[in-house]
Amino acid sequence: MVEEKRCCVCGEPLDPDNISQCNLCGGYFHMAWSVDVQMHECGRYWLNEQTCSLWFICTNCEHRLPSQ
């Protein structure tokens, strides 16, 4: 039996086409990969200036980061 992946933020089942993995905790979360997709996103992307790379972060980890 295949276990259904669930969002590490909201706990809802994940859509295999609109999913990202958090670079900090490794959890999977909802993230739309098209502007045509209407869904609640449980994280975001950001440009990591230290590594000059695109990173993905879930809302849980974003809330744990120090304020800037």
Spatial CA neighbour of 63 closest among 18, 30, 24, 19: 24
The domain of 32 spans 1-68
What are the start-end ranges of the E strands in 1-68? Answer: 19-21, 28-30, 43-48, 53-58
pTM for the full predicted model: 0.83
pLDDT of residue 21: 96
| Domain count of the fold of the chain | 1
Residue 55 near residue 26 (C-beta atoms within 8 A): no
Q: Is 52 exposed, middle or buried (0-12, 13-18, 19+ CB in 10 A)?
A: exposed
Question: pLDDT per position in the chain (68 positions), as tens?
Answer: 557 889 999 999 998 899 999 999 999 999 999 888 888 899 999 888 888 999 999 999 999 988 75
